[in-house]
Structure 1
Amino acid sequence: MLSPVWTLTRLPDWAQRHFYLEIFDVIEGAGGEVRFVGGCVRDELLRRPVKDIDMATTLTPDEVTEAFKESAIKVKPTGIEHGTVTLVHKGMSCEITTLRRDVVTDGRRAVVAFTTKWEEDAQRRDFTINTLLMDRQGQIYDPTGEGLNDIKRRAVVFVGDADTRIQEDILRMYRYIRFSMMVEQKIEQNLIALFQKNSAAIAQLSSERVTDEFSKILEYKNAPSYLENMQKAGLIEFSKNVKDVSKILKEYINISIRYELYNKLTVFALLAMSLGRKNPFSFSFSKKETVFIEKIETLLSDLNIQENFSQHFLKERAYYDGKAITLQALLVHFADHKTDRFDEAALTLLDKWHVPSFPLSGQDLIAQGMKEGAKLGEVLRATESWWVEKNFSPGKEACLAHALKADLSPI
C-alpha cells in the first residue's frame, strides 16, 4: 500500500470545497481509493495558481457511475476508453480517471488496461512532478519516489526512460519544453539530442494538438529564450535566424506588457510568419485567428514603408483593419526596429482613439430617392472614403450632401 511522504501544514481552499469532499465520500463509501493528481498537486507544491483539478481512483468507470447513482453529482462518460468520466454538479466539474497502465502506444494515443496500483499508474505519466498525489487530509504521495524531490529542485524529469516516454507520446517533447519554462530550467544537451532523434515523428501529431500545446507554451513570457534550443532539437524550424526571431519576440513582449497591450495571438502570428518550409508541424487556427494573422502581416508591410506615422494614417488603418489589430502591428513594428522607429506618441494616440462609425447608410440614400443597386453601393463607398480623408469629421448631413452631389459614371 502506498504511504504518504509529506503532509501540507494547511489543506488548500480549493481542496476543501464541498464538491470534492463529496467525491471522496462517495468513492470511499463504494470501497475505492481516490486522490487529487497531476497539475493541481504540482502547482500547489510549487505555490502556483491551481487551475485544473483532476482526480484518480481505483474504481473502474462503471463502478464510479454506479457509486454516484444516488448522489446529486452527475457522471458524464467523456473518455470511457481511457478510463475517464467527468463529475458535474452546480457549475463545477472534475475529471476522474481510473488507474491504468499502457498496453499499446503509437506516439499519439494509447490502449490502456485498468489497474489498482498507484505505482503502476505513475509509470505511464510523463514527468515525476506530475505523478504526485494528495488525499483529503493534504497528505502527499510520491509513487515514483522522485517527484517530491524534483519539486523541491524545480526540476522537470521524465518518469523512467525519457526515450520510452517520448515514443509513447511525441507531444511530450513540447510538454517538456513548456514545463521547463514554468520552472525556468535549462534544456540539457543530452535531451536536445534525444529530441532531435525523435523529431521526425512530430509529423504524426495533429496540428490541433500542436497548436493547443503552443498556446500553453506561449503563456510563458520567457518562451523566446527557448526557441534556439527548440530549433536545435528539431521541434521548430524558422525561415530566418532564430536569434532574430527570439529578439523580436522578447522586445514585443517587453513593449506590450509595458503598455498593457500583450496579446498571445500576436506572438502566434510572429511565429507563424517566421516558420520555414521544413518546419515539422503546422498550426491550426480558427477563421477569426487566421484573419487576424493575415491582417497583422499586411499591416506590417504597410508600416515598414512609412517614413513616419501620421495621425491620419494610423486612424485610417485602425478604421479599416480594426484598432486592436493595428495596435498589435504597430507594437511588432516597434519591436522589430527598436529605438530607431519607436514612437510613443503614435502608440498612445492610437490606444486612446475612439474609432467612429460612418454616419451614412444605404437607407439614408434610398430615402433621398436613390435606387437600390450597384451604383448606390459605389456612391456609399466613395462617400465613406471622402469622410475618412476628411479625418472622420463630416457629420451625417455633410456626408449626405456629398453623396448626392457625387459625379459617378453610371454602372
Structure 2
Amino acid sequence: MTQLSNAPWLQTKAIQRVFDAVEQDGDRAMAVGGAIRNTLLGLPVADVDIATTALPDEVAARGRENGLKVVPTGIDHGTVTLISKGMAYEVTTLRKDVETFGRQARVVFGTSWIDDARRRDFTLNAIYVDRHGEIYDPLGGLEDCLARRVRFIGDPGARIREDYLRILRFFRIHAAYGLGAPDPASLSACIRERDGLRHLSAERIGVEMKKLVGAPLAADCLALMEDSGLLEITTGGISRIADFRALRSLDDVAQETRRPELGFAVLSGFVDEDLDRIADRFRLSNAERRRMHGALAAATDISADSGDPAVYRLLYRHGRESFIDGLLAVWAQARANGNSEHLEPVYLKALELGRSLEIPAFPLKGADLMAAGLPAGPRIGETLKRLEDQWLDSRFSLSRKELLERM
C-alpha cells in the first residue's frame, strides 16, 4: 500500500508540533488535499492543509497551550491557522453539508471523515494522510490521482450547481494535473451547466483563469473550453487558441510564457480595448493591466527583421519586461502562422540580447544643449530627438561628449 512517510514536509518538526497540539483528548488530525496530491505526483508542495475532529475553539486553545501562534483565519467556518516554526498550517474541523443553497451551504461540524470527503470537489483532493504517512482514501481518490484523472465527487451536475466556479476549477485542475482526455461525465456536466458561469464574480473567475493559463495543459483545456462554448462566456470575446498554443510551445525558451498577463494578451489581445475588457472581467490589478498593454505595444513595434540595432531601440523604448513579452508574442504568432522557421534564430538572438543588455539613460538633457549654445525653443526638443536616434543607432555607444559635438 502506498505510504507517504518519507514525504519531506511530513517529517518536519514544524508539522509534527501541530499534530502534537491538535491530537489530544481522542481527537485526530490528518493532512488533506493538495499536499498529498502533489506528493503522489512528484510535484512541489507549497502548503499543507490539515483536517481534524477537534472543534475550532479547541484547536485554537491547544495551539496556544503548545506555544504555537494562532490566527483565527476563518474560525466561524471551522478554520484556524497554526504557525509552527514559521510555517503556517490551516487546520479545519471536519464538516458536513446539511443544506445546500449554491455557495450558501449550511455546514455543521462533525467527526466523520467520509462526510468531510464527500463535500470536497474532486476525488484526487479528498485523500488524507496521518502524521505517520498512512493514507486514508474514502472515495477512490488515490487511483484517480495516480492516473492523473480529475473526477467530481458524487454527481457532477449537482456538485457544479453548488458552486459554478467548479466548472473553471475542473479545467484548471485538469490543466495542472490531468493526463489525456478529461473525465467524460465531468466534462459533460460542465458543458450542460455552462450558463452558470455568467453569475460568478469577476474576482473569482480571475483567480481561476490566472492559474489556468499558466498550467501545463492550458492550451488543450482552453481549446476544449472554446469548442464547448465555455471560453467565450468566460472572456467575453474571441480567443486566439492557435497563438496561445504556440506561445506555450516556447515554454522551454522563456519562463515568461507561463505568466498570466502574457497569456491573456496573446489569447485575447487583438487591440488595447480587448485587454481592458479582460482586465475588467478578471478584475486584474493595475500592474497586471499595464503589463498586458506593455506586451501589446512592444509586439506592435517588433518586426520580423528586428536585428541587433532594432533590439537596442526597442529595449530602450519599451523596457526589458515589455520587450521580452512582446517578442514572445510576435514569435508565437509567427509559429502559429507556420512561417517562423527562418526567423527562429533571429528571435532567439533578440531574446538573448533582451536579457543581457544593460539599458542606460540617454546622457543628454535640454539644459545640456542650452549650455552648449543652442537657444531655448522648439529646436531643443527636435535636436534632442535627433541625437537620441543617433545614440540608439550606435547601440548606446556614443558618449555625452560625442553627442554634443554632433549638435
Change (3 A) 1:29 1:190: closer
Are the aligned partners of 1:362 and 1:377 in contact in 2 as well (CA < 8 Å)? no
1:273 aligns with 2:269: yes
Quote the offset at 1:379 in angstroms.
Answer: 7.3
Pairing partner for 1:35 from 23, 26, 30:
30
Quote the offset at 1:7 in angstroms.
Answer: 5.4
| % identity of equivalent residues | 30
1:12 aligns with 2:13: no
Question: 95-104 or 340-349, which moves further after superposition?
Answer: 340-349
Q: Distance in 1 between matches of 2:190 and 2:170?
A: 10
Gaps of 5+ in 2: none
Q: Distance in 1 between matches of 2:39 and 2:226?
A: 32
- Letter of the 1:235 partner, please give it: L
Q: How does 1:96-107 map to 2 (within 5 A)?
A: 96-107=91-102
Are the aligned partners of 1:171 and 1:205 in contact in 2 as well (CA < 8 Å)? yes
- Letter of the 1:337 partner, please give it: A
Are the aligned partners of 1:195 and 1:233 in contact in 2 as well (CA < 8 Å)? no
Pairing partner for 1:174 from 153, 168, 175:
168
- Letter of the 1:166 partner, please give it: I
Change (3 A) 1:231 1:250: closer
- Letter of the 2:95 partner, please give it: R
Quote the offset at 1:260 in angstroms.
Answer: 5.8
List per-residue Cα deviations over 1:146-170 (Å, max 9, x = no partner): 2233234432221111111111121
List per-residue Cα deviations over 1:345-396 (Å, max 9, x = no partner): 34314422513312436597499499xx998994795354453344422212
Quote the residue 2:352 is aligned against: 351
Quote the residue 2:71 is aligned against: 76
Are the aligned partners of 1:330 and 1:347 in contact in 2 as well (CA < 8 Å)? no
Q: Distance in 2 between matches of 1:366 and 1:112?
A: 73
Are the aligned partners of 1:44 and 1:50 in contact in 2 as well (CA < 8 Å)? yes
Quote the residue 1:393 is aligned against: 397
Quote the residue 2:329 is aligned against: 332
Q: How does 1:72-151 map to 2 (within 5 A)?
A: 72-108=67-103, 110-144=105-139, 146-151=140-145
List per-residue Cα deviations over 1:299-331 (Å, max 9, x = no partner): 33333xx46324322321111111232222222
- Letter of the 1:308 partner, please give it: D
Q: Distance in 2 between matches of 1:103 and 1:380?
A: 76
Are the aligned partners of 1:196 and 1:232 in contact in 2 as well (CA < 8 Å)? no
Change (3 A) 1:276 1:375: closer
Quote the residue 1:221 is aligned against: 216
Gaps of 5+ in 1: 1-5, 406-411
Pairing partner for 2:317 from 316, 320, 328:
320
Q: What SS is found at the alignment partner of 2:249? A: helix
Q: How many residues align?
A: 390
List per-residue Cα deviations over 1:27-52 (Å, max 9, x = no partner): 12244211111111222223333222
Q: What SS is found at the alignment partner of 1:29? A: coil
Are the aligned partners of 2:174 and 2:217 in contact in 1 as well (CA < 8 Å)? no
Q: Distance in 1 between matches of 2:23 and 2:122?
A: 28
